[in-house]
Chain A
Amino acid sequence: MKTFTYTIRDKEGVHARPAGIVVAEARKYASNITITSKGRTTDLKRIFGVMGLCIKFGEEITISVSGSDEELAAEMVQKAFAMNL
């Protein structure tokens, strides 16, 4: 399993547009990918779950990736966060 943490830099938090981009990226991989914020964990491939976490500017989140393509998935999802959030 690969995990990484990330702090949200977008002033508006995880709003619809960037949430869509990271979810779209996550869906490209076979691995299970979860996002944890404020103690709650949800599937990063499910946009309503991700938006329901209500993640705000300045918050730290943890992403866990496990599966056959976890190396690549973790790297690319991290990139998607860094570029959009």
Chain B
Amino acid sequence: MQYKGDIVFEGYVTESVLVYDEQKRPRRLSVSKDKNEYDRFLSARISAIKTFDQLYATTLKTMSEKEANLFQTYKIMAEDSDFEDLVRSNINDKQTAEDAVTNASKQLADTFSALNDEYMKQRAADVIEVGNTIVDILSGNNQLVNLTKPTILLCNDLSASILMQINRKYLKGLVLVKGNINSHVSIFARTIELPTIANLDNSFALSNAVNGKRAILDGIKGRLIIDPTEEEVKEYGKLAKQYDEEVTSLKKFVGKPSVTKDGVKLNLYANIASALEIENVLKNDGEGVGLFRSEFVYLASKTFPTEEFQFNYYREVLEEMKDKQVVIRTFDIGADKKVEYFDLRSEINPALGFRSIRICRKRPEVFRTQLRALYRASVFGKLSIMIPMIVSVEEVDFVFDLIKKVKAELTKEGVPFKDKIPVGIMIETPAAALISDVLAKKVDFFSIGTNDLSQYTLACDRLNPDLNMTFDNKHPAILRLIQMTVENAHKAGIPCSMCGELGRDPSILPFLAAIHLDEISCSSAYILKTRKALAQIDTKKVDVNSYTNPK
């Protein structure tokens, strides 16, 4: 039997299953005669707080303060007077301490769930977890999972505190049948690198009947196979071996330079959309951030983000990347990224419409706020500014005029900023590629955006699934534009990078290295793979012509 789920952490595991049901808690129906129920609650709460303190200490040691703080929050929830008041009033209604706590945490959780917001629903789960910990202590119910052999743990959902108390030696995989990839337990599973899938498509057969059965957890495709055939076990054994070798071989490339066999350097940077991704960039040894999609700062907001807000956000990104370069792309709003408060007219053909630099020219005040925030943040790291969707020299002149004004304002106000920040443009329209010789004399760098460049060159909507046969981003026309852009950049003495999907395509990497592209920026997950692929390329043996003039 096969099930599909969302991937929390990658990996392959073949082990026996242990079904664990956190929901089943024995209930006491009548109140205690010899003991005051409220006193029972108070002493159970003291034990629960001790448990949270211990979990805080363990997590601080094995993970980091960020994860450990969750248990400090649980402690504060347990101590909270709103919670205590609800429990007291439930006990006054003749409930057992167990029921009083369960109901109090449910009442609080309901107020969060009622907010009808995925994010607040997760908060509801936190409250329930605090209640469950106290109830387990009250009922003497040992909820800990005792593993004695290598196991895939199968449960509807799991609390982070229970996960932290399981013996890692035997816990090989985790299936959260009804879990969510953003829950606390999922975050913890990723931190301890435990192969995990969540939110299974079809869960009715996952009962105690599968307990003890052999299963395969495929954390690459997001599958759980119960009772696999011998063939499947064999097949997955091979896959697991290959995967382990791959992971080990990629780890060897951490700290290594990004060069071809014959010594051609090609820097590998990361594309990110939020400060939260920086941890991954550094873990995968990204040499910098080649594309920070600043429109996500706008997409996450209900009104125009203020200068102060943007300044703090950019500053955080720059500080976290320390001395490494960060290329922030000014907002690319419009087309498929609509924001309500920009109040854009609906268009028949949005990809050819009012977007990014075109909005900036009509509404310079909005753009000016972002530029001010960027220049103010510039003193906190190594910033470059990149302008998207350029088609003409006029647009570039407009940008530099506005930058001049912004700098003059900041100087007048006595606000510190770095004067010489590289300002570059994206080459993502055929127009920009065709006049790249002219543009190169005006800017500090180019970055080729292959997704839009392909869409505009091929007159082909990249979001339309019916066009996947036509949308060929390795079309010789596109490769010729890329080659031309790189050559024109180098003639003018500026670097040229690439920040689209094409950059991480191993079949095109030899071409990019051979035409001396300076930098590729891709998702963090592809940095080490690309570095490894690069090390096997000898650019002297690459026939560039075969890419741009195929037979």
Query: Are A11's CB and B112's CB within 8 A?
Result: no
Which of B76, B82, B126, B300 has most chain A Cβ within 10 Å?
B76
Counting CB contacts under 8 A, is A40 at the interface? no
Residues of B69-85 contacting chain A, CB below 8 A? 69-70, 72-77, 80-83
Give min CB distance, A57 to chain B, whole Å.
5
Which of A18, A46, A57 gathers most chain B CB within 10 Å?
Answer: A57
CB-based contact B119/A15 at 8 Å: yes
Q: Is B82 touching A49 in the complex (CB atoms < 8 A)?
A: yes
Which residues of the other chain, A, contact B75 by a CB distance below 8 angstroms?
A: 20
Q: Does B343 contact A (CB under 8 A)?
A: no
A47 is an interface residue with CB less than 8 A from chain B: yes
A47 to B77, Cβ gap below 8 A? yes
Judge if B66 is at the interface, Cβ distance under 8 Å. yes
Tell whether B401 is near chain A: CB-to-CB under 8 Å: no
Cα A55 to Cα B184 in complex, Å, equals: 19
Residues of B within 8 A of A47 (CB): 73, 76-77, 80
- CB-CB < 8 A to A19: which residues of B? 73
B73 touches A11 (CB 8 A): no
Task: Provide the bound-state CA to CA distance between A58 and B77, in Å.
Answer: 25
Q: Which residues from A are CB-within-8-Å of B308?
A: 7
Closest to B302 in A: A58
Asked if B309 contacts A58 (CB within 8 A), the reply is yes
**Residues 31-85 of A at the B interface (beta carbon under 8 Å):** 46-49, 51-52, 54, 56-58
Q: Cβ of B274: which chain A residues have Cβ within 8 Å of it?
A: 11
CB of B411 within 8 Å of the partner chain: no
Chain A CB within 8 A of B338 CB: no
Partner of A20 from the list B73, B112, B119 (CB cut-off 8 Å) is B73
A12 and B66 CA atoms in complex are apart in Å by 14
CB <8 Å contact, B76 and A24 = yes
Complex interface: chain B residues within 8 A of A51 (CB): 112, 120, 123
Tell me, yes or no, whether B316 is within 8 Å of chain A by CB.
Answer: yes
B132 to chain A, nearest CB (A): 15
Instruction: Kindly list chain A residues whose C-beta atoms are within 8 Å of the C-beta of B123.
Output: 15-16, 51
- Measured CB to CB, the closest approach of chain B to A25, in angstroms, equals 11
CB of A16 within 8 A of CB of B80, answer no
The docked-state distance in angstroms from the alpha carbon of A13 to that of B58 is: 26
Question: What bracket does the count of chain B residues touching chain A fall in?
Answer: 35 or more
Which residues of A lie under 8 Å from residue B120 when comparing CB positions?
Answer: 51, 54
User: Closest chain A residue to B111 by CB distance?
Assistant: A52
Min Cβ gap A35→B in Å is 15
Instruction: Determine the residue in chain A with the shortest Cβ distance to B69.
Output: A17
Contact B316 A9 (CB under 8 A): yes
C-alpha gap A34/B510 in the complex (Å): 61
Q: Are A48 and B80 in contact (CB under 8 A)?
A: yes
State the Cβ distance, A10 to closest chain B Cβ, in Å.
Answer: 9
Which residue of the partner chain A has the closest CB to B301? A58
Residue with the greatest number of chain B CB neighbours at <10 A, chosen from A46, A52, A58: A58
Tell me, rounded to whole Å, the shortest Cβ–Cβ distance linking B103 to chain A.
15
**What is the minimal beta-carbon distance from B329 to any residue of chain A, in angstroms?**
18
> Given the complex, which residues of A lie within 8 Å of B312, measured CB to CB?
7, 9
- Is B275 positioned at the interface, with any CB of A under 8 Å from its CB? yes
Q: Is the CB of B300 within 8 A of A11?
A: yes
B309 and A9 form a contact (CB under 8 A) = yes
Whether B316 pairs with A16 at a CB distance below 8 angstroms is: no
- Chain B contacts for A49, CB-based, 8 A: 82
A15, B112: Cα distance in complex, Å: 12
CA distance A54 to B118 in the complex (A): 11
- Identify the closest chain B residue to A24 (Cβ): B76
Residues of A within 8 A of B81 (CB): 46
A52 to B82, CA, bound (A): 12
Q: Is B282 an interface residue (CB 8 A)?
A: no
In the complex, besides A18-B69, A46-B82, 6 extra interface pairs with C-beta distance below 8 angstroms are A7-B312, A13-B119, A17-B69, A52-B111, A52-B112, A58-B301
Binding site for A on B (CB under 8 A): 66, 69-70, 72-77, 80-83, 108, 111-112, 115, 117, 119-120, 122-123, 126-127, 184, 274-276, 300-302, 305-306, 308-309, 312-313, 316
Cross-chain pairs A/B with CB under 8 angstroms, 26 sampled: A11-B275, A11-B276, A13-B119, A15-B122, A16-B73, A16-B123, A16-B184, A19-B73, A20-B70, A20-B73, A20-B76, A21-B69, A21-B72, A23-B76, A47-B73, A47-B76, A48-B80, A48-B83, A48-B111, A49-B82, A51-B123, A52-B111, A56-B119, A57-B301, A58-B300, A58-B309
A-side residues, CB < 8 A to B, are: 7, 9, 11-13, 15-21, 23-24, 27, 46-49, 51-52, 54, 56-58
